[in-house]
Chain A
Amino acid sequence: GAVVSQHPSWVICKSGTSVKIECRSLDFQATTMFWYRQFPKQSLMLMATSNEGSKATYEQGVEKDKFLINHASLTLSTLTVTSAHPEDSSFYICSAMTQIQETQYFGPGTRLLVL
C-alpha cells in the first residue's frame, strides 16, 4: 500500500517552455501532497504544500507564478514549471500524506533538464 506515482520520470525541454508533472496516490486518498526539489548532493527542499480543493502554500523564496500547483482531486496533484530556464533543471519529487498515519510517501521523482 501507500504507492505514489509521478509522470513523467524524465523530461528534457527547451528554455522558455512549460512542463507539467503529475503526482498520483494510487491506493489511498491524499488530502495533502507536497512538492520538493533536490539538487545534486543536496537534501530535499520543500517547495509547496498542496491541499485538495484549495490553493497551495508555497515556501519562502518559491515563486508561485512560476511553479503552478493544482490539487484537483484526492489522488492527483500537478506541478507546472512555467517558462522553464536551465536553472530550473533539478529532480522534482512529490509526496502524498496518508491521513491515518500522517506519514509522507514519496513518488519516484521527475528529472527535469532545461536546455
Chain B
Amino acid sequence: QKEVEQNSGPLSVPEGAIASLNCTYSDRGSQSFFWYRQYSGKSPELIMFIYSNGDKEDGRFTAQLNKASQYVSLLIRDSQPSDSATYLCAVTNSGGSNYKLTFGKGTLLTVNP
C-alpha cells in the first residue's frame, strides 16, 4: 500500500525561527510532490510543488526533495504566527493516469509569538 508518513507533531517554534517539516513516501515511482497548508476548519491551500531532486525556493518557503531517500521536506524561514496550521505532504502515485494524490496525515505547526 502506498503510504506517506509525516510526524503528526505538534511542532512548536518561536516566531522568527525556521520550521522544518518532514515527509517520507513509500512509492519509489512517485513523480510529483506537494505541500499544502490547512488552517483549522478550512480546506487545503497549495504552498509548493516540486518534481526534481534538490531545493526549490518560493519566498520564505523551501521544498527539498531526495528521491533516493524517498524524502521530501518543507522549510519555513522567519516563521510567523500566521503560519500556524497543519501542513500536508502529498505525493502523486506512479502508474496510471488521473494524478491521484496520496496525503500524509499532516504535521501541526504552532508558531509562538
Residues of A at under 8 Å CB distance from B? 32, 34, 42-44, 46, 49, 51, 57, 91, 93, 97, 101-109
Q: Which residue of the partner chain, among A49, A91, A93, A107, contacts B98 with CB atoms under 8 Å?
A: A49
Closest residue of A by beta carbon distance from B99? A102
B46 touches A105 (CB 8 A): yes
B: number of interface residues (CB 8 Å): 19
- 16 additional contacts, CB 8 Å, given A91-B43, A93-B43, A108-B42? A32-B98, A32-B99, A43-B88, A43-B103, A44-B88, A51-B98, A57-B98, A102-B32, A102-B99, A103-B46, A103-B49, A104-B46, A104-B99, A105-B46, A108-B43, A109-B43
Task: Give the secondary structure class of A's interface.
Answer: strand
Interface string of B72-113 (1 = CB under 8 A from A): 000000000000000010001000001111011110000000
The 7 closest A-B pairs by CB, nearest first: A109-B43, A43-B105, A106-B43, A49-B98, A93-B43, A43-B103, A106-B44
Provide the bound-state CA to CA distance between A101 and B34, in Å: 12
> By the criterion CB–CB under 8 Å, are A103 and B106 in contact?
no
Contact A107 B49 (CB under 8 A): no
Chain B residues, Cβ within 8 Å of A93: 43-44
Q: B55: CB under 8 A from chain A?
A: no
Give A51 to B103 CA distance when docked, in angstroms.
21
